[in-house]
Chains A and B, each alone.
Chain A
Amino acid sequence: MLGVYNPARARLKLLLTFGGLAVLAAAIWWGNANLSSYNLRILNLAGINAILAVSMNLIFGFTGLFSLGHAGFMAVGAYTCALLTLPVATKDSIFLLAPLAWPFSVITLPPIAAVVCAGATAGLMAYLTGFPVLRLRGDYLGIATLGFAEIIRVVANNIPSITNGALGLKGIPSFASNLWWTWGCVGITVFVISRLVNSVYGRSLLAVREDEVAAEIMGVNRTYHKTVAYVIGSFFAGVGGALMGSLVTTIDPKTFGFTLTFNILIIVVAGGLGSITGSVLTSVIYTVLLEALRPIEASWRIGPLRVPEIPGLRMVVFSLVLLVIILFYQRGLFGGREFSWDRVLDWIDRRRSRKQGVRA
């Protein structure tokens, strides 16, 4: 069965793919119209987390670059997008410390252009920093990129004529509170990155992850491959940051501390390094669970006993869940596997043949 080209099955798979996309589109359409703003916000956040997780998975999971600079690239993206989408009048009213530098002071772009610019700026930043930093390996790379993210944050705090310093930016147009926007971007991210990793090119990324030297003597240009993965991953980190800024409508340097990077890292590791499916689904589970666990922090009664409210308890429960995942699924929930219609169809075939076997 494996590897044999079956035209009927190929047609079925294409049909299923379009069907699946249609169902998703219908769900988004329905959700936008009927969900409460609270639920919408959670779903939007889940989408943004998915973009961030998939992009980090490209860098860390597929290429093996232990980079902790995601929050930095998100900050670059978020600030770029915010500066480009804020109406000029709003800019005038919020820049109190120093007037906004030209050209940002006069231009306002439509959201799509601004998000693309946000990604491109983050990508450019990745290219420039990647040149020296990607020579490092393992933990050293992690430390260097973490340092880079902190530098971005400190710089953002100290150039009031562009970032408005510690006051941050407010009133960012909230186009990303629309599911089409966030999940549309998830779709694009997943499409681009999955096409990338399933190409010959992607296989060489895996080779670099497995053994850099061996990859190199097979003819893989390791510096080039690492740089491209890093730049593309950071592009989508910038897009994710831009959407997050638009969803929250206010950003300041504190938003982009390194805990943000670690949240994404948790999603990537729990979902499975090298599994795009894992990253997307775990982003949804993670975001929803964080909210769903809120009630356990409230005070409650057992008969005469009154348990006081314990802020932060959900984080304790959450850590336990993570421990369980790491203990029982060392390679993450999906362990490098991906969703595919072949897998589903094979499973259905097996079920059916087993049932017939029982009957006979």
Chain B
Amino acid sequence: MLQLTDVNVHYGGIHAVKGVTMHVSPGSIVTLIGANGAGKSTILRAVSGLVRQCTGSIAFLGRPILGLRPHDIVKRGLTMSPEGRRIFPNLTVKENLALGSYSRTDRAGVADDEERVFRLFPRLKERISQPGGTLSGGEQQMLAVARALMSRPKLLMLDEPSLGLAPVLTQEIFEIITTIRNEGTTILLIEQNAFGALSIADYGYVLENGRIALEGPGKELLGSQAVQGAYLGARVGVV
């Protein structure tokens, strides 16, 4: 569904992403884990068209999307929920969601999807006419995911949805991500919370200093000694 081949990104003088090749197959949850500054967010920003200094090839549904503007990429069914939520703080929850469906023209479908996100996130319905900035951190994250869902993406990219959330909420978010996948949306998930992400992922990539260091099915990576040592805090002899 999404194929990155030999993608390189340069940020100023820094070679942030070095020859990354990744594949996301339809109906799966694919996760990309790695430490701070490994280049995870840069990859997502490149895929969604926000980063322009990018070489290699990125194809979505078999067609190249590298070099397209972000709004064109959204129209093709690839939406990102950005790092740090980036909801619109002075607009109400309803307006935030309406902006999520900005690229769509099918009114009936938009109404259906509004129902759907309120079913996934009942808390948002209670807050519908509140400005986004007055929500709690967890609610803002839910709003960010809900807003991205409103574009009815074929592939939803989530950048650190568990960042800064209490453990209970993190658990809840991961459960919701699984539900979203089960309802038919493919997911590319970026996480620092390696354990949570790998537990729900079908396939995982481990990024180190801009390179893919390791890849494999989620459960397999979860059991791998290298991953356990570097990201899960397990005590192993050598890493």
Residues on A facing B (Cβ under 8 Å) = 2, 200, 203-204, 206-207, 210-211, 213-222, 336
* A213-B50 in contact (CB<8A): yes
Using known A-B contacts A213-B82, A219-B74, A221-B71, determine if residue A200 contacts B88 with beta carbons closer than 8 Å.
Answer: no
Chain A: which residue is nearest B129 at the CB level?
Answer: A2
Which residue, of B80, B87, B91, B151, has the highest number of chain A Cβ atoms within 10 A? Answer: B91
What is the minimal beta-carbon distance from A215 to any residue of chain B, in angstroms?
A: 7
| Interface secondary structure of A, over-half rule | helix
| Bound complex: CA A213 to CA B99 (Å) | 13
* A218-B74 in contact (CB<8A): yes
Categorize the interface residue count of chain B. 20 to 34
Interfacial residues of chain B within 67-88, with CB under 8 A of chain A in the complex: 69-71, 74-75, 79-80, 82, 86-88
* A219-B91 in contact (CB<8A): no
| Bound complex: CA A213 to CA B79 (Å) | 13
What is the minimal beta-carbon distance from A208 to any residue of chain B, in angstroms?
A: 10
Residues on B facing A (Cβ under 8 Å) = 48, 50, 69-71, 74-75, 79-80, 82, 86-91, 95, 98-100, 102-103, 129, 147, 151
| Bound complex: CA A349 to CA B103 (Å) | 39
| Interface secondary structure of B, over-half rule | loop
Return chain A residues, CB-CB under 8 Å to B91. 203, 206-207, 210
Chain A: which residue is nearest B132 at the CB level?
Answer: A210
What is the minimal beta-carbon distance from B49 to any residue of chain A, in angstroms?
A: 8
22 A-B contact pairs sorted by A residue (CB < 8 Å): A203-B95, A203-B99, A204-B99, A204-B102, A206-B90, A210-B88, A210-B90, A211-B86, A214-B86, A215-B99, A216-B70, A217-B48, A217-B70, A217-B79, A218-B74, A218-B103, A218-B147, A218-B151, A219-B74, A219-B75, A220-B99, A222-B71
* B71-A219 in contact (CB<8A): yes
* A210-B82 in contact (CB<8A): no
Chain A: which residue is nearest B157 at the CB level?
Answer: A217
Other 5 A-B pairs with CB < 8 A, given A206-B91, A210-B91, A217-B79: A200-B98, A204-B102, A210-B88, A215-B88, A220-B99
Pick the contact of A211: B88, B100, B103, B151 (CB < 8 A): B88
Return chain B residues, CB-CB under 8 Å to A207. 88, 91, 99, 102
Return chain A residues, CB-CB under 8 Å to B90. 206, 210, 336
Pick the contact of B82: A2, A203, A214, A220 (CB < 8 A): A214
What is the minimal beta-carbon distance from B206 to any residue of chain A, in angstroms?
A: 25
| Bound complex: CA A210 to CA B92 (Å) | 12
Chain B: which residue is nearest A222 at the CB level?
Answer: B71
Return chain A residues, CB-CB under 8 Å to B100. 218
Chain B: which residue is nearest A210 at the CB level?
Answer: B88
Which residue, of B70, B89, B98, has the highest number of chain A Cβ atoms within 10 A? Answer: B70
